[in-house]
Amino acid sequence: MSVASPQRARPGRGRLHFNRTLPFWLLLPGLLIIAAIQLYPALFTVYLSFQRIEPGTGRYIFRGLENFQRLFSTRQFIESIGHTAIFLVGYCVLAMTFAVLIAMLLRQRVKVTAFAITVIFVPWVLSDVIVGVVWRLFVVPQYGLFSPFFANPSLFPPRGISVLTTPPPPTLIPGIYFPPAPALIFLIFASAWKVLPFITLLILAALQTVPNEVLESAAMDGATAGQSFRFITLPLILPVLTVALFNLILGGINGVGMVFSLTGGGPGTATEVLSYLLYSIGFARLDFGLAAALSVVMTVINLTLVLLTLRLSQPQEER
Amino acid sequence: MAQATVLTAMSSSAYRPQKRLRPWLISGALLLVCALMLFPVFSTVLLSFKQQSDVRRTPPVFLPCDDEAGNFNLAACRFVLEGYGRVILLQPNPSAPLGFQITGRIFTTYLPNTILYAFASATFVTLIAAMSAYVYSRYRFRLRRLIMVGLLTLAGVPILTMLLAMAQMGNAIRRAFPGYEERLYMIVVYIGFELPIAIWIIKGFFDTIPRELEEAAKIDGCSPVGALWRVVMPLALPGLLSIFLLTFVGVWNEFIANYLLMSRQDLRGAMYGVYDFIAQSLSSYNALAAACVLVMIPVVVIFLFTRNAFFHAMLEGAVKG
C-alpha cells in the first residue's frame, strides 16, 4: 500500500478528479454559450443605450439618458405603444375566449377528440411569416378571397375597405390611437389564430386536473353547467389562465414576423407595433442608440412579465 | 402529470367522464372548429394549385370548378402546377441527371440553409442541454438555484431585443476574421437562444428517471459518464427527441434573427425566402402560395408524425415560463 508508485497512482487519481469535477465540465459549454449569446448582448445593449454614435468616425460618445429622452418624446414611439396596447387587448381577449371554449369541448371525450386535437394544432407549427402570408392572401386588393366581402359598402360604410391599404379612421380623442386601422384588427385575428392551439392545450391540460367527482357531485346537488364552471372549474384553472395570459402578452409584444409578411407595418404606420418599431429604428434607420434604448425598455417590460409569471406559476423545484 | 392526461385523452381507451351534452353535438362543434382552424391552410393549398387566370378573377373564386356557363361542375376543375413551377423554376440542363435543373432560389439557397441551421442547432441544443440538465437534476451545488432561475428568466426574454447588440457582434467578428463562415454565427446564436428553455424541459424529464438506476450501475462498476451515457440517456431518449423536434421546428420557422444577422441573401433561410417572394411574385399569388406550401410541408409532416413528443415538450416548457 504505502509503496504504491506515483506513476500508477496518478491515472487513478486523475480519473477520480475528473469524476468529481464532471458536473463542472458538463455545465461549461451551456453556460459559455448562454453567456456569449444572451448575457453579453443584453449588457452591451444597456451600454449602447447610453451612447451616441458619432456619424463620421463611428465612435461612441457617452450621452447619459439622452436616448431615452429622445425615445419618449418621439411621436412614433407613443403611437406604437397605442398600437401595441390595442393589439394586445384584442389578441388576448380573442385567444383566451376561444381557447377556453375549445378546451371545454375537447375535455368532453368523444370519438373525434383525438383527431380534433391533432388538427387544431396544425397552425401552431407554422411560422409567423407563413401565417402572415396566408392571411395576407385572403385580403390582397381585388383578388383576395375576402376582398369583395370587405369592399362591400353596405357592410363597411361608407365605401367599403381594403384591409391592406385603408388608413385608420380619424381618432376619436387626439393622442389616443383609437379606433385602429382595419389592418391592425386583421393582424389581431391572424395572430390569435396562430396562438390559439398553444393556449388551448395549456387550458385543456389544466381542465384535465379538475376532478370529475367534484363536478358530478355538484351536478347532483343541482348546480347548472354555468354554476359549476364559475365556482369549481374557473377557480381551479385560474393559475393556468394567468400563465397563459402572460404567455400571450409576451408573445404578442415580441412577435414581429407576422407584421413583416402581413402588413409590413403599413398602411403608413398603422400596424407599427413596438417590435416593428425596433426594427425600423435600429435596422432601417440605423439609429443604434435610440434602438438600444427601445430594446432596454422592451426588455424591462419582458423581464417584469417573466418574473410575474414565475411568481404566479411557482414551479415546484425540488422533488 | 398534466400532459399525461392530455395524452390519455388522445388514446381510444381513455376513461370517459359523465356526459352532460350529447356526444354528437360536441363532435359536430369540434369538427366545425377543426374546419375553421384548417380553412386558411386549406385555402392556401387550393390557391397554390390554381392557374393564373383563376387567381386574377374578380370576384375571386374559391374552387376553380365552374364551366363556361358559370355552373359548378366537378369535371371542369382546373388544378395546375403553374405556381409550383414558378417557385421551382426548372431549367433544361443537359449535364444534370434528369436533363433539368432546379434554379428557384428557395430550393438552391434558402431551404438548404434552413435545413443546415435547423439540424445543427437542434443537435447541439439537445446535446448541450442534456449535459447541463443532468447536472441540474442530479447534483446540488452553490448558486444552482440562482442559475436555474436565471436560465428561466433568460428563456423568457425574446431574441428580438438582443438583435441590435448581436448584429454589432456579428459585424465585429466579420471584421476580425474576414472570410469566416458566417453560418456558424447563426447556428451559435440559435443554440444560445434555444438552450435555456431546453435545459429546463430536459431537467424535468431527467427528474422523472429514478436515481437508483444510476446508482446501481455505478455500484456495478460504471463510471459517472458511463452511467449518464448508458443508463440515463437511453431512458430520457423520448424527451430528448421531443426537444430535438421542438428546436428543429423553432429554428425552421425563425425569421427575424436570420434576416437581420446574416449580411448576405445567400446565408438566409427559407422564411426569408418566403418574405422575399412577397415582393418578387407581384400578383402571381399562386406562386406565393406554392412557396408557402413547400416551406411548411416539412414541419407539418414532422408534427403530424410526432405530435405526442410536441405536446410533451410544449406543456413542460409552458408551465415553466
User: Residue A315: pLDDT above 70?
Assistant: no
Q: Name the residue facing B60 among A31, A128, A144 (closest C-beta).
A: A144
Question: Is the domain of A77 the same as that of A52?
Answer: no
Write the pLDDT tens digit of every residue in B252-311: 999 999 999 998 899 999 999 999 999 887 778 999 999 999 999 999 999 999 888 888
Query: Is the CB of A37 less than 8 angstroms away from the CB of B260?
Result: no
Q: What mean pLDDT is reported for chain B?
A: 86
Question: Is the domain of A162 the same as that of A264?
Answer: yes
Long-range contacts of B298-304 (CB under 8 A, 24+ apart): B298/B252, B299/A125, B299/A126, B299/A127, B299/B249, B299/B252, B299/B253, B300/A122, B300/A125, B300/A126, B302/A125, B302/B245, B302/B248, B302/B249, B303/A121, B303/A122, B303/A125, B303/B249, B304/A118, B304/A122
A26 assigned to some structural domain: yes
> pLDDT tier at A306 (50, 70, 90 boundaries)?
confident
Collapsing DSSP to helix, strand or coil, B147 comes out as: helix
A-chain residues within 8 Å CB-CB of B20? Answer: 219, 225
CATH number at A101 reads 1.10.3720.10
Question: Is the domain of A38 the same as that of A131?
Answer: no
Query: Is the CB of B164 less than 8 angstroms away from the CB of A291?
Result: yes
B97 assigned to some structural domain: yes
Write the pLDDT tens digit of every residue in B185-203: 999 999 999 999 899 889 9
Our count of domains for chain A comes to 2
User: Residue A256: pLDDT above 50?
Assistant: yes
Q: What are phi and psi of A268, to 5 degrees?
A: 65, -120
Q: Name the residue facing A205 among B3, B196, B252 (closest C-beta).
A: B3
What sign has the CA pseudo-torsion A219, A220, A223, A228?
Answer: negative
pLDDT of residue A81: 92
Distance of alpha carbon B99 from alpha carbon B92, whole angstroms: 6
Strand partners, A310: none
B-chain residues within 8 Å CB-CB of A147? Answer: 60
State whether ipTM is beyond 0.90: no
The whole domain housing A186 covers 70-313
Query: Is the CB of A125 less than 8 angstroms away from the CB of B41?
Result: no
pLDDT of residue A14: 62
Nearest CA-CA partner of A282 in A48, A94, A97, A59: A48
Enclosing H/E stretch for A53 = strand A51-53
Chain A residue closest to B156 (CA)? A306
B282 close contact with A: CB closer than 8 A = no
Question: Is the domain of B95 the same as that of B222?
Answer: no
> pLDDT tier at A273 (50, 70, 90 boundaries)?
very high
Contact A195, A93 (CB under 8 A): no
User: Residue A318: pLDDT above 60?
Assistant: no
User: Residue B17: pLDDT above 70?
Assistant: no
Provide the grid cell at B233.
440517456
A100 assigned to some structural domain: yes
B258 assigned to some structural domain: yes
Chain A residue closest to B246 (CA)? A125
Provide the grid cell at A181.
386601422
Instruction: Give the domain-ending residue among B73, B102, B131.
Output: B102
Distance of alpha carbon A140 from alpha carbon A143, whole angstroms: 6
Instruction: Give the domain-ending residue among A42, A62, A82.
Output: A62
Query: Is the CB of B223 less than 8 angstroms away from the CB of A26?
Result: no
Pairing type for strands B90-92 and A60-62 reads unpaired
B186 assigned to some structural domain: yes
User: Residue A185: pLDDT above 70?
Assistant: yes
- From B56's Cα to the closest Cα of chain A, the distance in A is 6
Write the pLDDT tens digit of every residue in A198-211: 999 999 988 988 88
Question: Is the domain of B84 the same as that of B173?
Answer: no
Distance of alpha carbon B21 from alpha carbon B19, whole angstroms: 6
151-190 of B, contacting A, C-beta below 8 A = 151-154, 156-158, 160-169, 188-189
For chain B, the C-alpha Rg in angstroms (whole number) is 25
Question: Is the domain of A94 the same as that of A236?
Answer: yes
The whole domain housing B219 covers 105-320
Question: Is the domain of A153 the same as that of A203?
Answer: yes
Share of chain B above pLDDT 70, in %: 92
Q: What are phi and psi of A212, to 5 degrees?
A: -60, -35
Question: Is the domain of A85 the same as that of A165?
Answer: yes
Find where cell 408524425 sits. B305
Write the pLDDT tens digit of every residue in B232-260: 888 888 889 989 999 999 999 999 999 99
Query: Is the CB of B128 less than 8 angstroms away from the CB of A209?
Result: no
Question: Is the domain of B98 the same as that of B113?
Answer: no
Q: Which residues contact B210 (CB under 8 A, 6 or more apart)?
A: none
pLDDT of residue B115: 96
Residue B165, CB half-sphere, CA atoms under 13 Å: how many?
Answer: 26
Query: Is the CB of B310 less than 8 angstroms away from the CB of A125?
Result: yes
pLDDT of residue A313: 67
B-chain residues within 8 Å CB-CB of A202? Answer: 315, 318-319
For chain A, the C-alpha Rg in angstroms (whole number) is 27
Our count of domains for chain B comes to 2
Question: Is the domain of A58 the same as that of A83?
Answer: no
Question: Is the domain of A182 the same as that of A45?
Answer: no
Least confident segment among A258-267, A287-296, B92-101: B92-101
> pLDDT tier at B158 (50, 70, 90 boundaries)?
confident
Question: Is the domain of B228 the same as that of B277?
Answer: yes
Q: Name the residue facing A283 among B27, B44, B260 (closest C-beta).
A: B260
| Of B43 and B91, more confident | B43
> pLDDT tier at B113 (50, 70, 90 boundaries)?
very high
> pLDDT tier at A15 (50, 70, 90 boundaries)?
low
Distance of alpha carbon A256 from alpha carbon B258, whole angstroms: 13
Distance of CA B318 to the CA centre of its chain: 16
- From B54's Cα to the closest Cα of chain A, the distance in A is 10
Question: Is the domain of A179 the same as that of A33?
Answer: no
pLDDT of residue A13: 56
B67 assigned to some structural domain: yes
Write the pLDDT tens digit of every residue in A52-74: 887 777 788 888 889 999 999 98
pLDDT of residue A62: 87
